[in-house]
Structure formats: C-alpha cells, structure tokens
Amino acid sequence: MPESIENRVKNKISNCKRGIFFPRLTGSKLTKISWVDYSKHNYDTLKFTPPESIMEEYKRDYAAMEESMFYGKTEPFEDLIDKLNQLNTRINKIG
C-alpha cells in the first residue's frame, strides 16, 4: 500500500529536524563558493528577505520589474515581503 501524503510530509519534516535533508542537499547539489561558511546555513538561520538597510533598493527594483518584466496583476512589494517573512518564520522553526 502506498505511503500517504501526510506520512510522507511528516517524514520529510522529521528528516529536516534531524538535519538529514539540508546537509544532503548542500553536499550534493551545490557548487561551493570558497568564501561562504556553509556551516552557518541552517533552517533556523535562513533569511529570505534583504536587510532593512537595502530594502528600498529592492523595492525600486521590483517596481522596475513590474513595468517591464511582469504581465498582468502583480502582488504589492510589501505583501510579497510579508509572505516571505511568514514562510521564513515557518522554516526557521524546523531547525
């Protein structure tokens, strides 16, 4: 009998909490950059949004992309950042 989706998700989360998935991913699918300290890359330290000090630059860049790269309705920048922060919080809790 095939494993249920719920059990597969629980197993993935369990593996993440035990540090199985992330090291395997970084060890096999990453071209390492010599000056990056990968030992600091954990679920509890990931950050998806830019620092506040350069947030306005990202906002301007997003506005420029809305003009020339996106078609149709786009999400307001602030809403996008808010959703990224919510996702970030959920992932940080895995660690």
Quote the number of domains for the chain.
2
pLDDT for position 43? 79
Judge whether 4 lies within some domain. yes
Same domain, 78 and 49: yes
pLDDT for position 85? 94
Same domain, 55 and 22: no
- Domain containing 71 equals 42-95
Same domain, 64 and 92: yes
Q: What is the mean pLDDT of residues 77-90?
A: 94
Q: Which residues contact 59 (CB under 8 A, 6 or more apart)?
A: 77
Helix (H, G, I), strand (E, B) or coil at 33: coil
Same domain, 57 and 87: yes
pLDDT, one tens digit per residue, over 15-70 is: 665 555 555 555 555 677 888 887 777 778 888 899 999 999 999 999 999 999 98
Please, what's the b/e burial string for 72-86 (b: 16 or more CB within 10 A of its CB; e: otherwise)? eeeeebeeebeeeee
- Of the candidates 51, 53, 43, which has an alpha carbon nearest to the alpha carbon of residue 81? 51
Judge whether 37 lies within some domain. no
Judge whether 57 lies within some domain. yes
pLDDT for position 26? 52
Same domain, 46 and 91: yes
